[in-house]
């Protein structure tokens, strides 16, 4: 039977080998003060932890719980658990700043455009070899520190019985929007396994990169997906979605619960395939007041985050135009909170009470600027991060079409060469250039 490794918050791996799948326990010698130890954290005499190993059928993996324990991560499937990216997600020191970009595989790249000439977006998503190819090519061309799987946010809607298509110039169009209790009742929650083509693509990417580059899986947040379902596509005011929230709160909760059920199963499958982290995209959450977010959204996101954290990987929660929501988003318990460009990075981190790592937060339009200006803005973000462990450099949203590829490459290289304070020495398995 394969060994299971539990990663304490200080990055230490504790390998547990089980001869049986039922209850089993033992004492393990690990380190004391896991959040402050560094080079001496491998001393096995510091603190005794008791591990209880169980089999969890829902996740199809075994989980070890440590008492007492710092926050721990379970390395059952992760392909690059000691990468700079994963360490930063856990607010651990790194030997250099990790960087990747949302929508790093996209129309701004000639290689991607060539594939799109032959295949639609959904065809690429549903053919694991193609999805893996565009994921790998983008990461290798840019030289970034993580590869996010190529997929579409709305894929779960199909398996719930809600077909959609892409209309030129308009984006996704839901063919029959969800507007009634009956519409919600008809949504399926038992077909998430039909999204296995995404997991197959994750597995191909993880196999290609091994421990050199971590793989990020992702899904849409329940509010953003619910808004697409109800509005029938993009929206400026979210009138129909908010009407359901305000006037039919029970129906709203039922819809959100169904979405959480499908997306957590879908995301857990990506982890089992080798994803090192899951990012939850809440692209439209910024349209909500703090009161509405806390009442109608936060409980569902919190449950989703907690469920996904049982898979053992860090969870990134990203929303746009969400500066006023940051203290509430922190309460979701996500390991990393994504910041957009509308708030200075240090102010955003302070609103989180530094209780989570942060990701961001360059304005994507700055990639069209001259290099001198782009470099200056990147330096400002790095200055505001101040070498504090737990910062992943990214944009405040996805890369835009027609973005100059060389600017993206140069930005990635610049961030990687900007040495943060509080470095750690490189360890085995850490990607180096």
- In 3D space, the residue among 357, 350, 359, 356 whose CA is nearest the CA of residue 396 turns out to be 359
- In 3D space, the residue among 296, 299, 359, 350 whose CA is nearest the CA of residue 327 turns out to be 350
Active-site residue among 55, 107, 179, 191?
107
Specify which residues 67 forms β-bridges with: 50
Using a 10 angstrom Cβ sphere, with 0-12 exposed, 13-18 middle and 19 or more buried, the burial of residue 3 is exposed
- Unique residue bearing structure tokens 């059952």: 76
Query: How far is Cα 153 from Cα 332, in angstroms, rounded to an integer?
Result: 20
3-state SS, residue 8: strand
Q: Contact 178/106 with Cβ under 8 angstroms?
A: no
Q: Contact 268/308 with Cβ under 8 angstroms?
A: yes
Active-site residue among 228, 293, 296, 317?
228
- Judge whether 310 counts as a catalytic residue: no
Q: What angle do CA 253, 266, 67 make, to 5 degrees?
A: 85
DSSP string over 265-325: HHHHHHHHTT-SEEEEEETTGGGS-HHHIIIIIHHHHHHHHHHHHTTTS-EEEEESS-GGG
- Judge whether 228 counts as a catalytic residue: yes
- Judge whether 351 counts as a catalytic residue: no
DSSP string over 36-56: T--GGGG-TTSEEEEEEEEEE
Query: How far is Cα 127 from Cα 119, in angstroms, rounded to an integer?
Result: 10
- Judge whether 103 counts as a catalytic residue: yes
Give the pairing type, strands 47-56 and 315-319. unpaired
Active-site residue among 55, 116, 375, 388?
116
Tokens of 288: 């909500």
- Judge whether 317 counts as a catalytic residue: no
Active-site residue among 103, 351, 424, 431?
103
Active-site residue among 82, 152, 251, 276?
152
Q: What are phi and psi of 201, to 5 degrees?
A: -65, -40
Q: What are phi and psi of 184, to 5 degrees?
A: -65, -40
Q: Contact 23/54 with Cβ under 8 angstroms?
A: yes
Start-to-end Cα distance in the chain: 35
Instruction: Count the neighbouring beta carbons within 10 Å of the beta carbon of residue 190.
Output: 11
Q: Which residues are catalytic?
A: 103, 107, 116, 152, 228
């Amino acid at each position: 039977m394969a060994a299971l490794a539990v990663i304490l918050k200080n990055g230490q791996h504790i390998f547990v080998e089980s001869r049986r799948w039922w209850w089993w326990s033992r004492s393990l010698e690990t380190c004391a003060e896991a959040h402050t130890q560094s080079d001496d954290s491998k001393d096995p005499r510091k603190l005794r932890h008791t591990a209880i190993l169980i089999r969890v059928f829902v996740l199809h993996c075994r989980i070890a719980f440590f008492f007492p324990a710092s926050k721990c991560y379970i390395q059952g499937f992760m392909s690059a658990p000691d990468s700079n990216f994963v360490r930063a997600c856990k607010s651990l020191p790194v030997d250099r700043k990790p960087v990747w970009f949302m929508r790093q595989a996209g129309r701004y790249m000639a290689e991607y455009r060539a594939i799109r000439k032959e295949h639609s977006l959904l065809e690429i998503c549903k053919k694991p070899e193609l999805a893996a190819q565009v994921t790998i090519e983008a990461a290798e061309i840019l030289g970034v520190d993580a590869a996010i799987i190529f997929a579409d946010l709305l894929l779960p809607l199909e398996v719930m019985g809600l077909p959609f298509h892409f209309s030129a110039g308009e984006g996704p169009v839901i063919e029959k929007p969800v507007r009634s209790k009956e519409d919600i009742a008809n949504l399926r929650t038992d077909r998430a396994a039909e999204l296995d083509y995404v997991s197959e693509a994750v597995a191909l990417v993880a196999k290609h990169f091994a421990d050199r580059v971590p793989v990020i899986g992702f899904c849409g947040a329940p509010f953003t997906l619910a808004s697409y379902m109800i509005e029938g596509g993009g929206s400026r005011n979210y009138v129909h979605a908010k009407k359901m929230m305000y006037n039919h709160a029970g129906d709203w909760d039922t819809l959100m619960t169904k979405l959480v059920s499908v997306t957590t199963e879908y995301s857990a499958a990506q982890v089992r395939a080798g994803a090192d982290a899951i990012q939850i995209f809440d692209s439209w959450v910024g349209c909500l007041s703090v009161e509405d977010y806390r009442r109608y959204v936060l409980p569902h996101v919190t449950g989703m985050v907690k469920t996904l954290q049982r898979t053992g990987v860090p969870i990134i929660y990203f929303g746009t135009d969400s500066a006023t929501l940051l203290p509430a988003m922190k309460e979701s318990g996500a390991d990393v909170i994504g910041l957009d460009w509308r708030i200075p990075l240090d102010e955003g981190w302070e609103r989180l009470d530094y209780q989570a790592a942060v990701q961001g937060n360059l304005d994507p339009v700055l990639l069209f600027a001259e290099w001198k200006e782009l470099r200056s803005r990147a330096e400002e973000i790095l200055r505001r991060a101040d070498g504090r462990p737990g910062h992943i450099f990214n944009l405040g949203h996805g890369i835009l079409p027609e973005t100059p590829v060389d600017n993206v490459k140069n930005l990635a290289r610049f961030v990687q060469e900007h040495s943060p304070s509080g470095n750690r020495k490189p360890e085995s398995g850490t990607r180096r250039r």
